[in-house]
C-alpha cells in the first residue's frame, strides 16, 4: 500500500467489528519495526510494547476487572463488563507504555511521551497497511496503578495506549476529517492555509 493511501485510509475499527485472525509473528515484528522508526529526541527509546495474546488475554481481562473493583466504588455494570470482555474480543492486544526517565537533564517527560505516541501512530498505520484493523484505547486501565503494577511496569512506566488488533469483519467507512483550512493558518497573516486563494 502506498504511503499516503495508508495514512489517509487509516481508521479506528470498533471492537465489535474486529475478529480473527490476528497477525503472524513476522507481520507483528514488521509493525514493531515501523513503531521503532518514530521520532525519538535523544534516542532514549522510551517506547515499549507488551504483546498479549492467547491465554494472556484472559489474564489481562482478570487484571482489568480486579483493578476496577479495587479502585472504584460501585463501578457501572457496563464498565465492569467492558473490563471483563474487551481483551477477549480480539486476537491481539498491544499495550504501549513509556519507559520514562523523569530526571533526564535535556529531554522532558512530555517529549518522551510524545515519542511513544508517535510510535503508536506508526504502528497503527502499519497495521492498516497490512489489511488488519485496530482501536487505540486508554480510559481507566491506562491510568490505574493496579493495572500498571499487575503488568509489571516500573513506577516510572506510563501506559500510553491499549491497542486492540484483529481482522476487520467488514469495510469501515472513513470518518469525517477536518479540512486543511481548519487546522492550518499562515503566520503572520493569520489566515487559513489552503483556502483556494493561491496560498
Round the CA-based radius of gyration of the chain to a whole number and report it: 19
Q: H or E segment at 53?
A: strand 47-53
* pLDDT, position 19: 97
pLDDT in tens, 132-190: 999 999 999 999 999 999 999 999 999 999 999 999 999 888 999 999 999 999 999 99
> 52 pairs with which residues across the strands?
93
* pLDDT, position 199: 46
Mapped onto helix, strand or coil, the DSSP state of residue 30 is helix
Cell for 148?
500498571
Mapped onto helix, strand or coil, the DSSP state of residue 94 is strand
Give the other-Cβ count within 10 Å of 30's Cβ: 15
* pLDDT, position 4: 94
Burial profile 130-161: b = 16 or more Cβ within 10 angstroms, e = fewer: eebbbbbbeebbbebebbbebbebeeebbbbb
Domains of the chain, each with CATH number or no CATH: 3-192 (3.40.109.10)
Q: Which residue has the cell 467489528?
A: 17
* pLDDT, position 92: 98
Q: What is the pLDDT along the chain (199 residues), one digit of tens a residue?
A: 799 999 999 999 999 999 999 999 999 999 999 999 999 999 999 999 999 999 999 999 999 999 999 999 888 889 999 999 999 999 999 999 999 999 999 999 999 999 999 999 999 999 999 999 999 999 999 999 999 999 999 999 999 999 999 999 998 889 999 999 999 999 999 999 986 655 4
Q: How far lies 93's CA from each of 16, 28, 57, 178, 191, in Å?
A: 14, 11, 8, 29, 43
* pLDDT, position 1: 76
Q: What DSSP character marks residue 177?
A: -
Amino acid at each position: 500500500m502506498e504511503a499516503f493511501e495508508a495514512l489517509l485510509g487509516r481508521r479506528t475499527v470498533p471492537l465489535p467489528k474486529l475478529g480473527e485472525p490476528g497477525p503472524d509473528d513476522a507481520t507483528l515484528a514488521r509493525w514493531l519495526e515501523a513503531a521503532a522508526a518514530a521520532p525519538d529526541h535523544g534516542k532514549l527509546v522510551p517506547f515499549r510494547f507488551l504483546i498479549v495474546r492467547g491465554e494472556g488475554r484472559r489474564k489481562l481481562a482478570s487484571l482489568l476487572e480486579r483493578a476496577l473493583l479495587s479502585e472504584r466504588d460501585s463501578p457501572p455494570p457496563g464498565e465492569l463488563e467492558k473490563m471483563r470482555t474487551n481483551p477477549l474480543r480480539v486476537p491481539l492486544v498491544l499495550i504501549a507504555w513509556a519507559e520514562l526517565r523523569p530526571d533526564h537533564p535535556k529531554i522532558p517527560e512530555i517529549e518522551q511521551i510524545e515519542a511513544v505516541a508517535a510510535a503508536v501512530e506508526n504502528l497503527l498505520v502499519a497495521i492498516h497497511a497490512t489489511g488488519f484493523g485496530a482501536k487505540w484505547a486508554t480510559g481507566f486501565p491506562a491510568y490505574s496503578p493496579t493495572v500498571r503494577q499487575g503488568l509489571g511496569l516500573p513506577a516510572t512506566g506510563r501506559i500510553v495506549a491499549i491497542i486492540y488488533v484483529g481482522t476487520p469483519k467488514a469495510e469501515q467507512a472513513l470518518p469525517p476529517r477536518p479540512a486543511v483550512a481548519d487546522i492550518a493558518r499562515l503566520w503572520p497573516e493569520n489566515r487559513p492555509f489552503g483556502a483556494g486563494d493561491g496560498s
